[in-house]
Structure 1
Amino acid sequence: METIHSDWGDWLPREVADAEPDGLDVWYLGCNGFFLKASDGTTLLIDPYLGTGDPPRTVRMVPVPFHPGDVEGVDAILATHEHTDHVHGPSQAPVLEGTDANFFAPDDSVEKAREDERWTDEWDVEDDQLHVVAEGDRIDVGSLSVHVEPAHDPDASHPVSYVVEHESGTFFHGGDARPSEAFADIGERYDIDLGVLAFGSSGMIPDKETREPTFTQWYSDPNMVAEAANQLALDRLLPSHWDIWKGLTADPRSVRDHCRSFAHPRTVVVAEIGDRVSVGTPR
């Protein structure tokens, strides 16, 4: 079982716990992870990953920002799909154990938690904390309404995206998804203030089975992320995932040039691990 060690002590979960947002704020955790906290104290985690990868195939390039045992007051964890950097027992099960939060994810992700990683056996997690969601579902958590939407990720077995509505603004998390008609439909139905889209370079990554270097593209390139942001009609785009894996990192500032001729996004927000961003009113 992988052991998690925080490079930053407990200051980040303490900052989230002590924060009093005016509306809805998010903290970027590196990779594709986020804390969300609303003005009434409702707190979510989306895709938190605190592992170091599978060296030399996947090598983590950013700090591990907290230990899951230091997290308090989380109401729910959302996962977008079943990949290890989105569903990871050592990162997420201790949060469920320590907070009695609920875990919401599509069927293959919950199956991984129950059957493959045996969260209910390896940690003090109850089976009724694990909930399967599907496209079209709505989850109400405190002051937040979470809508489960489709996502196109050719590398995942059952990916979803999430639209999180609060009275102060609307947040979108696309997981590792790429442009698709599903995003265009979401853009027509919601007014999204801040949207997160996975972005990265392509590279030669050792194959999972043979360990031979293999051309790999797991995330949208700059043109694709600009297309997806325009489909979603985002006011602000926050590129994610560009910082995590050696050989697939990229410069999120480059996305601005690719977005200039599109109507959306109006702004590209470049956030580093640990940064806090307001959803409704820019911080």
Structure 2
Amino acid sequence: MIQSDWEDWLVRDVEDAAPDSVAIWYLGCNGVILKGSAGTTMYIDPYLGLGDPPRTVRMIPVPFDPEDISETDAVLATHEHTDHVHGPSQAPILENTGATFYAPDDSLTVARKDERWADEWDLTDDQFSEVAEGETFEVGEFTVHVETANDPDASHPVSYVIEHEAGTFFHGGDTKPTDEFERIGDEYDIDLGVLAFGTVGQIPDKQTREPKRTRWYNDENQIVEAASALELEALMPTHWDMWRGLTSDPTVLHHHARSFTHPRRLELVEIGDRVDL
């Protein structure tokens, strides 16, 4: 059972919030919560695990206990990696709320076959919904478009463009730049976009445990390249805070972004912070 460092105050803040537009809370790693003005709530890539020490070591608090979540409409996953699809983090939320888990095929394979969530938690078949690029679905007041992503380390990553009457939000998972982002930037008017950011570090190999030069996330130039192609009004860098050896300082992005038309501004947040569209 996951034990939060923060007890339940963040959960209560989300439940008590009544945003005029869309409120977005950053959960650290690549997780966010979206809550709309009509009360629809969605979690994207919430991860509360500690990693696989000493290979991957969590550097930030566990912000809530998933057992404390009693209200949400959906949990979305961008790809199959453990810090994006994780039974102990996500299955209790689905069990307590009856929410639907939306994810691409390989992510659903992890949840349903590899980790067998339904064997440990009280979940039904209709709580698992497969998504693919080009599809659109509704979650309450949100319209969710499934788009492409470029994550060479994942077997089937996707990104999400989430539209609301108050604005449009983009979550890229661990994507790096791709030519498809110019099309997405032309097709949607994105007010705020999440892109993974971090440094290159020496991380023990998963099999041999020998140190290996590792680049999992965008560097300074890549994240600005992606944000520029997507024509983001605002960029929220994520993942920079999470793993020992891959952390970074997002304030440096001011220098890298200043000569580009997009992103027009940076939203630099820490775990637990809220941003409104």
**Amino acid aligned to 1:173:** H
Q: Distance in 2 between matches of 1:7 and 1:254?
A: 29
CA distance in 2, matches of 1:219, 1:108: 20
Alignment partner, residue 70 of structure 1: 68
- Distance in 1 (alpha carbons) for counterparts of 2:130 and 2:255: 39
Deviation by residue 1:14-35 (Cα, 9 ceiling, x = unmatched): 1000000001110000000001
Tell me the SS of whatever aligns to 2:23.
Answer: strand
Other structure's SS at 2:145 match? strand
Q: State the percentage of identical aligned residues.
A: 65
State the match for 2:220 in structure 1: 222
1:31-76 Cα deviation digits (max 9, x unpaired): 0000100000000000000000000000000000000011121000
AA at the equivalent of 2:218 = S
**Equivalent of residue 198 in structure 2, options 196, 200, 209:** 200
Number of residue-to-residue matches in the alignment: 277
User: 1:101 corresponds to which residue?
Assistant: 99
Residue 190 of structure 1 is aligned with which of 188, 191, 197? 188
- The letter of the residue matching 2:101 is F
| Partner-residue secondary structure (3-state), 2:253 | helix
Q: Which amino acid aligns with 1:198?
A: A
> Secondary structure, in 3 states, of the residue corresponding to 1:7?
coil
| CA positional deviation for 1:127 | 1.6
Residue 133 of structure 1: aligned partner? 131
Q: How many Å apart are 1:224 and its aligned residue?
A: 0.3
Task: Give the TM-score of the pair, scaled to structure 2.
Answer: 0.99
Deviation by residue 1:161-199 (Cα, 9 ceiling, x = unmatched):
000100000000000000111111110100000000000
Gaps of 5+ in 2: none
1:262 to 232, 237, 260: 260
- Secondary structure (helix, strand or coil) at the match of 1:204 reads strand
5+ residue gaps, structure 1, are: none
* Secondary structure of 2:254 counterpart: helix
Letter in 2 for 1:255: L
Q: Which residue of the other structure, out of 239, 242, 251, is the alignment partner of 1:241?
A: 239
Query: How large is the RMSD of aligned CA atoms in angstroms?
Result: 0.5
Deviations 1:82-129 (A, max 9, x none): 000000000000000000000000000001100000011111111210
1:128 partner SS: helix
Aligned match of 2:158 in 157, 160, 164? Answer: 160
Secondary structure of 1:197's aligned partner: strand
Which residue, out of 119, 122, 131, partners 2:120? 122
Q: TM-score, normalised by structure 1?
A: 0.97
